[in-house]
Amino acid sequence: MAHITIEYMIMVPVLIMQIFLFPLTATVIMDTWVDQRRNLELQEIAGHLGSSIQQLYFTINRASISVGSLSSKLDIPTSIDNYHFTVTFRNATNPSGSTRILNITLNLLKNNVVASTIVTLGENADWNDNSVYYSNSISIINATKTPSVIQLSLVGGST
Amino acid sequence: MASAGIDHMISLTIFMVAILVFIGFFSQTMQTGIAYERHSALSTKASDLLDGILLSPGIPDNWGQSDNKIGGFGLQDPEFNNYRLSSFSPMKLTSSTQSPVYYNGTYYGNLTAGFGGYLHAPYEKSVDYSTASEVMGINGTYGFRLSLTPTITVLIEKISTTGAPLQFSVDVAGTGFLLSNSAISYSFLLINQDGSEYPSYAIVSGTTTTDSSGSIELPAFSAVDGESQAYALIVYSYLNGLKGVGYYVHVPPSLTKTVVPLIDSFQNRSILIAHEDSVGEPPMPPSSSELNYNTSFIILTEDYTLRQVQLDQPTAFGQIVYGSGSGQDNASINVPDNDGILIVTFKDTSSQYGLVLMPWGLGSMAFPVTFGGDPAGQDWVTTDIRQVTVGGISYQAKLELWNIQGYSRVVK
């Protein structure tokens, strides 16, 4: 009888522990998967946004366009798993005087998932440093050319 | 009692194994999902990067015709839209597949393709893989290889055996298809071996059409000895907007020396005509050798014929000497700012004639370019392709992209 008691004393805690261990393991693995997927998606959006801004800049930077404004519809989701993200424009360190480098940082408003990309633009490119945009309020990239600068920004609205 | 104890031990073991199996399978499924997401993200990145390269002229936008360093990497022709690439920017890319050549303290990149054609640009005025990665903002994150390959292959073969007449066959094919009934425009350049001090050449042009198999035998050149004379054939093929070019150069086997054109400056459009023996590391041991050369420039007209442009400058013809204290082993000439082909005809002291061609503008002779890193051994390489034109010639631009941080990176 003593043996049976000892065995039950081992088995019962193990079985009770598995009630917690099983879902905990599943949760940890799922969280890892979800975070990695969100991070990847955020990186993809950052890269695509950078590429779109670069193409818009080079389109309006032609000598044949002296002044004017050009817009491009943003082909990115407004949220990831129903969580919005912010887009921040920053000046990046620039070793060359002939270019300006735009650092685009995306921050998912959940679990602090961050992705960033840099875009190399000409010296006449300009943007508001540290300007923050919310993903649910942007749908268009706007480039406005004046004789001296090309101002880049993200705006809402529909095309 | 003993059997109950064994039952418990077995059930506990099975339970633990079940837990481990569950974690293993679950993790594997998740990893497969993550890998799929990563590959998908890499594909999007490749597409974005390729469009970024092909749809922007770079910074400054005329960097292909400048000797300065670049601030932004792009190959689009600054005067045009869409997938129309600059003829000159791709010439500044350092080949990742061909060894450089050395001349007079400088290394020159090697984009040469085929016998008798040369394209060497100085490293210090070219763009290397590391610089391109840096200005694209992917240094340390992604590796890439960019290939520009002519869509149309124009293969020229000499089908006459010995002596006169000289005859060629031309086979035209695309990437995986034959170019049936495509228009052919050919220009035959024959050196005038008339004893003049600086050899000139004559151009014979014609047009024809390929048959259903994409082949054609050109009319024979009855008065030309295919072995002892020096000549070149340049063939353009075009069909429904697709354009290709091929070339063939022949020099007599008895000719032992040649000239090597080397780009000196993209900005000044200056080319060094160097004696072959002085090119290489180390140069050939000095043994006096003289070559009399004559340069000219040809441009392609609207009707696919070649128009000769005389280079009106004192060094357009002259003598280069290697191994002698008195003469120069190179000469510098300037070419026009149009796309075209530099033709250098020459003869040695025993009146052996030769010629070499150099494209000014990558598409002029449909030279391919392979630029960037080596994808061999990478975990996963994604590829994207665009159809582009370079100087009017159809090319296929292919970008191979891989993640050089590997796949172990997790969320920041």
For residue range B262-300, list pLDDT tens digits in order.
999 999 999 999 998 888 876 666 677 889 999 999 998
In this structure, what token pair is assigned to residue B46? Answer: 């490749």
Of B325, B371, B341, residue with least CA distance to B133: B371
Q: What percent of chain B has pLDDT over 70?
A: 95
Burial of residue B398 (number of CB atoms within 10 Å: 0-12, 13-18, 19+): middle
Of B377, B376, B395, residue with least CA distance to B386: B395
pLDDT confidence of residue B53:
94
* Chain CA centroid to CA A100, Å: 21
Residue of B nearest to A54 (CA): B52
Higher-confidence residue: B280 or B215?
A: B215
B157-to-B35, B170, B404 alpha-carbon distances in Å: 48, 6, 43
A residues 27-66 closer than 8 Å to B (CB): 29-30, 32-33, 35-41, 43-44, 47-48, 50-51, 54-55, 58, 61-62
Dmax (CA) of chain B: 116
Distance between CA atoms of residues B288 and B333, nearest Å: 23
Helix axis angle, B2-54 to B129-136, nearest 10° = 100
- SS3 state of residue B311: coil
Q: Look at B30 and A4 and tell me if their CB atoms are within 8 Å.
A: no
pLDDT confidence of residue B382:
95
pLDDT confidence of residue B2:
59
Residue of A nearest to B11 (CA): A11
Q: Look at A98 and B71 and tell me if their CB atoms are within 8 Å.
A: yes
pLDDT at residue A89 greater than cutoff 70: yes
Higher-confidence residue: A29 or A80?
A: A80
Mean pLDDT of B78-87: 89
Residues 6 or more apart in contact with residue B127 via CB below 8 angstroms: B63, B70, B73, B92, B93, B94
In this structure, what token pair is assigned to residue B141? Answer: 């994150």
Q: Look at B410 and A50 and tell me if their CB atoms are within 8 Å.
A: no
At A13, is the pLDDT very low, low, confident or very high (cuts 50, 70, 90)?
confident
Residue of A nearest to B73 (CA): A120
Of B36, B80, B31, residue with least CA distance to B55: B80
pLDDT confidence of residue B411:
36
Q: Cα Rg for chain A, rounded, in angstroms?
A: 25
pLDDT confidence of residue A1:
52
pLDDT at residue B196 greater than cutoff 90: no
Residue B122 near residue B93, CB atoms below 8 Å: no
In this structure, what token pair is assigned to residue B340? Answer: 């075209």
pLDDT at residue B143 greater than cutoff 50: yes
Distance between CA atoms of residues B109 and B339, nearest Å: 20
pLDDT confidence of residue A96:
65
Q: Cα Rg for chain B, rounded, in angstroms?
A: 28
- SS3 state of residue A132: strand
Distance between CA atoms of residues B367 and B58, nearest Å: 21
B42 found inside a domain: yes
For B236-260, letters b (16+ CB in 10 Å) and e give bbbbeebbbbbbbbbbeeeeebbbb
A residues 74-93 closer than 8 Å to B (CB): none
Least confidently predicted of B27-31, B171-175, B328-332, B349-353: B27-31
pLDDT confidence of residue A153:
92
At B245, is the pLDDT very low, low, confident or very high (cuts 50, 70, 90)?
very high
Dump the DSSP string for A21-82: HHHHHHHHHHHHHHHHHHHHHHHHHHHHHHHHHHHHHHHHTSTT--SEEEEEE--S-S-BTT
pLDDT at residue A157 greater than cutoff 60: no
Higher-confidence residue: B88 or B61?
A: B88
Distance between CA atoms of residues B241 and B252, nearest Å: 37
Mean pLDDT of B217-222: 91
Phi–psi pair at B58, nearest 5 degrees: 90, 180
Distance between CA atoms of residues B251 and B227, nearest Å: 8
pLDDT at residue B360 greater than cutoff 90: yes
pLDDT at residue B367 greater than cutoff 50: yes
A-chain residues near B34 (CB < 8 A)? 33, 36-37, 40
- SS3 state of residue A3: helix
Residue numbers of the domain that contains B10: 1-406
Measured in angstroms, the CA of B11 and the nearest CA of chain A are apart by 9
Distance between CA atoms of residues B84 and B367, nearest Å: 16
- SS3 state of residue B342: strand
Residue numbers of the domain that contains A142: 2-155
Dump the DSSP string for B116-148: TB--EEEGGGSB-HHHHHHHHT-TTTEEEEEEE
Residue of B nearest to A18 (CA): B19
User: What is the average pLDDT value for chain B, to the nearest integer?
Assistant: 88
Mean pLDDT of B104-113: 89
Residues 6 or more apart in contact with residue A104 via CB below 8 angstroms: A46, A49, A50, A53, A87, A88, A89, A90, A116, A117, A118, A119
B190 found inside a domain: yes
* Chain CA centroid to CA A3, Å: 60
pLDDT confidence of residue B208:
94
Phi–psi pair at B232, nearest 5 degrees: -145, 150
At B327, is the pLDDT very low, low, confident or very high (cuts 50, 70, 90)?
confident
Nearest by CB to A55, which of B4, B51, B69? B51
Structural domains in chain B (count): 1
- SS3 state of residue B390: strand
pLDDT confidence of residue B87:
93
Mean pLDDT of A125-142: 92
Residues 6 or more apart in contact with residue B90 via CB below 8 angstroms: B64, B75, B148, B362, B369, B390
ipTM, two decimals, is 0.78
> Which residues make beta-bridge pairs with B345?
B294, B355
Q: Residue A68 CB: number of other CB atoms within 10 A?
A: 10
Higher-confidence residue: B363 or A8?
A: B363
The order of strands in the sheet holding B259-265 is B259-265, B270-275, B330-334
pLDDT at residue B328 greater than cutoff 90: no
Q: Look at B19 and A21 and tell me if their CB atoms are within 8 Å.
A: yes
Structural domains in chain A (count): 1
Give one word for B323, left, alpha or beta, with left for phi > 0 and alpha for psi -120 to 50: left
Q: What percent of chain A has pLDDT over 90?
A: 37
At B232, is the pLDDT very low, low, confident or very high (cuts 50, 70, 90)?
very high
Residue A157 near residue A74, CB atoms below 8 Å: no
B154-to-B18, B148, B180, B217 alpha-carbon distances in Å: 64, 16, 12, 13
* Exposure of B148 in the CB half-sphere (CA atoms within 13 A): 33
E strand segments, B192-339 = 201-209, 215-217, 231-239, 242-250, 259-265, 270-275, 289-300, 306-309, 317-322, 330-334
Q: Residue B41 CB: number of other CB atoms within 10 A?
A: 22
Of A92, A120, A115, residue with least CA distance to A105: A115
B412 found inside a domain: no
